[in-house]
Chains A and B, each alone.
Chain A
Amino acid sequence: MIAYIVGNLLGFVENSIIVENNGLGYLIKLPPYLFEKNKNRKGDILEFYISHQFIAESQQLFGFESIPDLESFQKLLKIHGIGVKLALQIVSSFKTNPTLIVDLKNDRVNSLKSIPGVGEKTAKRIFDELKGCFPEFSDVKFDDKAKLAVDALVSLGVTFQRAKEVVIDTLKDIPDINILKSEDIITMAIQRIR
């Protein structure tokens, strides 16, 4: 089984890439965000963690940035009703939209429906599986202060999605949230929006 490839990016085929290693080219399918990221990097040396899948008569390679992402992808595939295409889409959504993680932490299933191709039933199934995935966002503490800040921004006319993103970004820059009042967090978040 192939689990890791490092090599020269030769070119693109539809939404897959060809990576050359020791004279052999490998066709690797990427999550949409990662494909976009590498679009202009032809000729660069890149590394991918690979999920090697046998689907019907064919074999396919799926590339990810890190082992945790790879694990999340494998977990998703095990869920009933999720195929490789949707699993890639979900990984992509989570990597580009950290607020989804926060929603998972706060048991908001509905925001999963913002991912293209995910409906009511799939959202519920993904929900339990994904709670522990994508660890890089898990250190964001989303407590009552932060919730209040989001609500305050919303009542000032900011969209819910945007308010969440801004509050998360604000919290990331604060070493110790306990010394701050929610007023301070709100003020900092407002300045970030401007």
Chain B
Amino acid sequence: MNVLRPKSFDEYIGQENIKKLLKISVEAAKSRNEMLDHILLSGPPGLGKTTIASILAYEMGKNFKFAIASALQKPIDLVGLLTSIDKDGSVLFIDEIHRLPKNLEEILYVSMEDYIVDISVSKGIGAQSVRLNLPPFTLICATTKPGSLSSPLIDRFGIHGYFEFYQEEELSSIIKRSAEFLELEIEEEASNFLAKRSRFTPRVANKLLRRVRDYVQVNKIKSIDVIAAAESLKIINIDDLGLNDLDRKYLRALKDIFKGGPAGIDNISQFLGESAETIEDLCEPYLLKIDFVQRTPRGRVLTENAINYLDNTYCEKSI
């Protein structure tokens, strides 16, 4: 378990709208002595969807069960997860729900609505089926691509939380809190410096902080100041916008090879030797956010901002 993960709503920084909504739901469910409604959390990676799910389990006082949809291939995998629910209910979390195979979605619908699983045993006329009754549970699903979910599935979630990118002040608070947990001293200026380069994402902020921690530990620096932070980011090639090597390669390729676009994601991913998913999940959300790239029906297009940036930074030619 990641030590930096907040355990309750009070420790969780940011996403005020979602927190407000969920706090009310939890309060109400508890006073009615019911399970919480099913929840769908969507938003870019690294913003704290899994964390919110584990907090909900904690606030409800229920057991937390975790699964990744891509690991659920056969009906037995999903039914196994569903039948492992505690007698007094559990909070079940399925990450990357958009990767759930279609044949499992139906099992999920029925279990969400009526807390049952029907297994058809024989085929054809006179088909027999066995019904397994499940204890009540709350299903929380997270997705980075809410658009690729089927509408019957989306309809069955009572609560839908959209995660927003973080503000720099929030990230700075997160970095300070994490530093405390890692027993580091960090100056205000340095935490702001790191927050600015964290791509509006707490996961990235914590990752940068860990790298800085390594750097100061090796160099026996007592307290993290801007100089130490800047030095450590230089080592891992993170620039002032928080862009890394892959982002720069991506932008370079778009500019030099694809003449600024439009270029299809498959082409770009082939060229970079990275999977399309990696690029879509890791690079693009941020590049879209800072308006370096636009997604058009014909493909990705480089913007004015990106061209200015590339003209002013030196990085290796992609050819």
A148, B79: Cα distance in complex, Å: 17
Q: Which segment, of B127-135, B228-236, B299-307, faces chain A?
A: B127-135
**Would you call A183 and B132 a contact (CB within 8 A)?**
yes
Q: Mark contacts of B200-221 with chain A using CB atoms, 8 A cut-off: 1 yes-contact digit, 0 otherwise.
A: 0000000000000000000000
A contact residues, total (Cβ < 8 Å): 16
**Would you call B131 and A155 a contact (CB within 8 A)?**
no
The 8 Å CB contact of A155, one of B120, B132, B133, is: B120
Residues of chain A lying within 8 A (CB to CB) of residue B128: 148
**Would you call B76 and A183 a contact (CB within 8 A)?**
no
Q: Mark contacts of A117-160 with chain B using CB atoms, 8 A cut-off: 1 yes-contact digit, 0 otherwise.
A: 00000000000000000000000000000001001110111100
A155, B130: Cα distance in complex, Å: 11
A190, B76: Cα distance in complex, Å: 7
B74 within 8 A of A: yes
A158 to B, closest residue via Cβ:
B76
Q: Which DSSP category, helix, strand, loop or mixed, fits chain A's interface?
A: helix
B83 within 8 A of A: yes
Residues of chain A lying within 8 A (CB to CB) of residue B70: none
A193, B80: Cα distance in complex, Å: 8
Chain B, interface residues (CB within 8 Å), range: 10 to 19
**Would you call B80 and A194 a contact (CB within 8 A)?**
yes
**Would you call B75 and A152 a contact (CB within 8 A)?**
no
Residues of chain B lying within 8 A (CB to CB) of residue A157: 74-76
The 8 Å CB contact of A152, one of B81, B84, B130, B133, is: B130
Residues of chain B lying within 8 A (CB to CB) of residue A194: 80-81, 84
Interface residues of B in 241-281 (CB under 8 A from A): none
B121 within 8 A of A: yes
Q: Mark contacts of B63-104 with chain A using CB atoms, 8 A cut-off: 1 yes-contact digit, 0 otherwise.
A: 000000000001110011101100000000000000000000
A186 within 8 A of B: yes
A148, B119: Cα distance in complex, Å: 11
**Would you call B122 and A153 a contact (CB within 8 A)?**
no
**Would you call B79 and A156 a contact (CB within 8 A)?**
yes
7 nearest A-B residue pairs (beta carbon):
A157-B74, A156-B76, A156-B75, A194-B80, A151-B121, A152-B119, A157-B76
Q: Which residues of A contact B (CB under 8 A)?
A: 148, 151-153, 155-158, 182-183, 186-187, 190-191, 193-194
